[in-house]
């Protein structure tokens, strides 16, 4: 038997097994719109509120996470390409529709051997509750004729839809019942965002759903907007990115590109200058520096990042913070927190959330 034939037989077996599972347990099914009457509207226009695209100048611009005028001479091509993935970005709206439907182009995210499709190209729908809380409704993967989820009856509710981590979104429409009404969203605790910059871990690799990224857990727990500038393998600490971040009127900045610095020398050359570019333009902005959340070759690299922090403190900076990455998976440890010794699973992201939240609350003066 050839390898190609063996692969085809395995694929056929898996497909048949999946179909049988769908017949046995309807909870495996992706709900489609079917005969339900739905009115769709583009997320880029009111009444929807887009968050996370800090540099978009008009509703007609694409869903892109970096300034569109950056070139490959200023920023590496990996970051420029991955900026098309709307990780950390969200759509907020308030409606009394008894269901929410999604209609989009087919997912572009490639299948990964260590990350579920629900995280790569899925959407997470949450209800925003009083007292800065949120309730998970479901993860949605859009079908060719739209996907639908029922919300529990006709009542005015606030929603937040988290967009995919590794799939470009060129077209996305949200559908509601024909008689549904919209109201302005309930304001969040803070209007200014927390900005994150870093590696694939910051981008969300490899959590099972978009909302399970530690950055999103933090912003969801605090009910604050997020700007996620995580770029897998491509956060190199370029000055042009620091200049762009300095343009954002942020509540706080968190950066941890340790994993993507190709060498210790690169990290030593770029880390403190990156900080100084932002600090010069944002003298009062709380800034948190993290080293990578695993210990492989971490000592000298960790010390480089800590040195940036110590120099800032010595210069009188009272809005700078540091977390040793060795503590981020504590107390569970690396074995339980990653899919490959590097990228966190959901448990790992939760531990990162738990171990960074107190410092972020301290910096933002949130109880």
Render pLDDT for 57-66 as a digit per residue (tens, 0 to 9): 998 899 999 9
How much is the pLDDT for 297? Answer: 53
The DSSP output letter for 190 is -
Assess whether pLDDT exceeds 70 at residue 12: no
CA dihedral (70, 71, 72, 78) in degrees, to 10, reads 40
Q: Given a cut of 80, is residue 3 above it in pLDDT?
A: no
Residues 209 and 169 in one domain: no
Do 161 and 234 belong together in one domain? Answer: no
Q: pLDDT value at position 28?
A: 42
240 CB burial (10 A radius; 0-12, 13-18, 19+): middle
| Shared domain check, 269 and 246 | yes
Same domain, 327 and 242: yes
Query: pLDDT value at position 60?
Result: 87
Q: Stretch 316-332: mean pLDDT, rounded?
A: 95
Position 3 in a domain: no
Q: Does 259 fall in a domain?
A: yes
Specify the pLDDT at position 147.
87
pLDDT at 146: 79
- 134, 45: one domain: yes
345 and 222, same domain (yes or no): yes
- Angle CA(329)–CA(331)–CA(333) in degrees, nearest 5? 50
Residue 19: the pLDDT is: 46
Specify the CATH number for the domain of residue 219: 3.40.50.1110
Confidence class for position 36, pLDDT limits 50, 70, 90: confident
Q: What pLDDT does 107 receive? A: 76
**For the segment 150-190, what is each residue's pLDDT rounded down to a tens digit?**
888 899 999 999 999 999 999 999 999 999 999 999 999 99
Residue with tokens 């971490």: 298
pLDDT computed for residue 296 by the predictor: 58
Percent above pLDDT 90 for the chain: 78
The whole-number pLDDT of residue 142 equals 77
* Dihedral angle of Cα 164, 228, 209, 96, to the nearest 10 degrees: -70
pLDDT of 32 above 90 = no
Residue 45, in any domain of the structure: yes
- The answer as to whether 341 is a domain residue is yes
Instruction: Please give the pLDDT value at position 110.
Output: 72
Q: Token pair of 334, please? A: 């690396």
Please tell me whether residues 174 and 206 are part of one structural domain.
Answer: no
Is 24 domain-assigned?
no
* Averaged pLDDT for residues 198-226: 97
Q: 298 or 331: which carries more pLDDT confidence?
A: 331
Can you say how many angstroms the Cα of residue 173 is from the centroid of all Cα atoms in its chain? 20
Do the domain assignments include residue 116? yes
Share of the chain above pLDDT 70, in %: 89
Q: Same structural domain for residues 54 and 131?
A: yes
- pTM of the predicted model, to two decimals? 0.90
In a domain, 1, yes or no: no
Q: What CATH number did the domain enclosing 86 receive?
A: 2.60.120.260
Asked if residue 245 lies in contact with residue 213, where contact means CB atoms within 8 angstroms, the answer is no
Same domain, 44 and 160: yes
Three-state SS string across 78-120, please? HHHHHCCCCCCCEEEEEECCCEEEEEECCCCCCCECCECHHHH
Q: What is the pLDDT of residues 69-128, one digit of tens each?
A: 999 999 999 999 999 999 999 999 999 999 999 998 887 777 788 899 999 999 999 999
Q: Which residue has the higher pLDDT, 145 or 16?
A: 145
The answer, yes or no, to whether residue 132 has pLDDT greater than 70, is: yes
Choose one of 127, 158, 183: the last residue of a domain: 183
Contacts of 16 (CB under 8 A, 6+ apart): none
**Number of domains within the chain:** 2
Q: What is the mean pLDDT of the chain?
A: 90
Distance in angstroms (rounded) separating the CA atoms of residues 240 and 29: 45
Kindly report, residue by residue over 268-289, the tens digit of the pLDDT: 999 999 999 999 999 999 999 9
Contact criterion met (CB below 8 Å) for 288 and 323: yes
Residue 341 confidence (pLDDT): 87
CA-based nearest residue to 143, from 112, 122, 168: 122
pLDDT of residue 4: 46
Residue-range definition of the domain harbouring residue 74: 39-183
**Which one is predicted more confidently, 293 or 83?**
83
Query: What is the arithmetic mean of pLDDT over 133-146?
Result: 85
Chain length of the chain: 367
- Do 198 and 302 reside in the same domain of the chain? yes
In angstroms, the CA 112 to CA 101 distance is 26
Q: Which of 161, 183, 205 is the last residue in one of the domains?
A: 183
Query: For 330-345, what is the mean pLDDT?
Result: 90
Q: Is there a domain that residue 244 lies in?
A: yes
Give the pLDDT band (50/70/90) at residue 334: confident
When pLDDT is averaged across residues 301-307 and rounded to a whole number, the result is: 96
- Tell me: pLDDT of 27 over 90: no
The predicted pLDDT at position 367 comes to: 86
Query: What is the rounded CA–CA span in Å between residue 153 and residue 34?
Result: 19
Give the domain-ending residue among 183, 215, 249. Answer: 183
Over 80: is that where the pLDDT of 139 sits? yes
In a shared domain, residues 179 and 211 = no
Distance CA 192, CA 224 (A): 7
């Amino acid at each position: 038997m050839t390898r190609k034939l063996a692969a085809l037989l395995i694929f056929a077996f898996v497909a048949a097994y999946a179909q049988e599972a769908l017949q046995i347990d309807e909870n495996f099914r992706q709900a489609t719109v079917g005969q339900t009457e739905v009115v769709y509207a583009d997320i880029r226009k009111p009444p929807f509120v887009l968050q996370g695209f800090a540099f978009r100048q008009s509703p007609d611009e694409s869903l892109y996470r970096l300034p569109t005028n950056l070139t490959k001479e200023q920023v590496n091509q990996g970051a420029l390409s991955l900026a098309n993935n709307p990780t950390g970005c969200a759509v907020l709206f308030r409606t009394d529709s008894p269901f929410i439907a999604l209609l989009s182009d087919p997912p572009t995210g490639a299948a990964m051997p260590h990350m579920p499709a629900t995280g790569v190209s899925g959407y997470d729908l949450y209800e925003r509750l009083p007292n800065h809380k949120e309730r998970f409704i479901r993860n949605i993967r859009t079908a060719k004729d739209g996907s639908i989820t029922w919300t529990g009856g006709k009542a005015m509710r606030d929603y937040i839809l988290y967009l995919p981590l590794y799939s470009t979104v060129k077209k996305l429409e949200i559908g509601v019942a024909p008689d549904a009404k919209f109201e302005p969203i309930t304001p969040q605790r803070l209007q200014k965002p927390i900005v994150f910059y870093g590696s694939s871990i910051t981008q969300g690799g490899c959590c099972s759903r978009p909302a399970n990224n530690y950055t999103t857990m933090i912003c969801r727990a605090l009910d604050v907007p997020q700007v996620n500038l995580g770029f897998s393998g491509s956060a190199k600490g370029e000055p042009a990115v620091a200049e762009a971040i300095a343009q954002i009127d942020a509540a706080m900045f968190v950066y941890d590109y340790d994993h993507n610095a190709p060498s210790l020398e690169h990290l030593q050359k770029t880390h403190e200058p990156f900080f100084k570019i932002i600090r010069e333009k944002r003298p009062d902005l709380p800034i948190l520096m993290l080293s990578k959340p695993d210990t492989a070759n971490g000592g000298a690299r960790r010390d480089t990042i800590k040195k940036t922090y110590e120099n800032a403190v010595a210069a009188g900076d009272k809005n700078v913070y540091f977390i040793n990455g060795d503590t981020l998976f504590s107390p569970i440890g690396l074995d339980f927190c990653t899919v490959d010794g590097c990228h966190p699973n959901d448990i790992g992201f939760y531990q990162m959330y738990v171990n960074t939240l107190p410092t972020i609350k301290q910096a933002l003066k949130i109880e």
